[in-house]
Amino acid sequence: MEEEPEMVDSLVFELNNLKKSDVFSGISREMCSFSADDYARKIETLEYETTFDTHDIQQECVQSGIWPENFVTYPEFFESEWSSLDSYLKHRDADMHTDFYRLSWYENCASPEKALSFQLEMIAKSKQIIDELEAAGEGI
């Protein structure tokens, strides 16, 4: 078990998602009544809450001696990029995570032309990120 913190993290995260499945389903049913940005923000907010709850569970299990310390995944993110909902949303928008929720909105709620246009924007953004990483010598 000590070698598998990512598996345990995923399990706890998905169980937390399951706990909020009614909220996710409600937002998904009503997605076309929101704008693409509002829909994406609502889903990202739930993801943040789930991620935060998962982190809290991990910390409690480690502090009580149930799990080894390496089972707290992403601790540095909760001290910086994910320290608040606003900083989490900015970080997830910058790494294009939020765009996948926007894409879902475009595919389900917009015309095929607008969905294609958004896909092309995502491709251009991805290329820009790759170019910036390569210029910094980081690659992908």
Interval 113-130: pLDDT, tens: 999 999 999 999 999 988
What does the pLDDT average to over 6-18? 84
What was the pLDDT predicted at 140?
Answer: 62
Q: Please give the Cα distance from 34 to 27 (Å, whole number).
A: 9
Percent of the chain's residues with pLDDT above 70: 96
Tell me, what's the pLDDT at 8?
79
Q: What is the mean pLDDT of the chain?
A: 88
Whether residue 1 is predicted with pLDDT greater than 60 in this model: the reply is no
pLDDT over 60 at 110, yes or no: yes
Query: Average of pLDDT values for 76-104?
Result: 88
* DSSP secondary structure of the chain: -TT-HHHHHHHHHHHHHHHTHHHHHHHHHTGGGS-HHHHHHHHHHHHHHHHHHHHHHHHHHHHTTSS-GGGS--HHHHHTTTSSHHHHHHHHHHTTHHHHHHHHHHHHHS-HHHHHHHHHHHHHHHHHHHHHHHHTT---
Per-residue pLDDT reduced to its tens digit, 72-84: 777 777 777 788 8
The pLDDT of 18-46, averaged and rounded, is 95
Are 82 and 91 in contact, with CB atoms under 8 Å apart? yes
pTM for this one? 0.81
Write down the pLDDT at residue 2.
52
Residues 102-110, mean pLDDT to the nearest whole number: 96
* Domain-wise residue ranges, the chain: 5-96, 110-140
Say how far apart CA 140 and CA 133 lie, in whole Å: 7
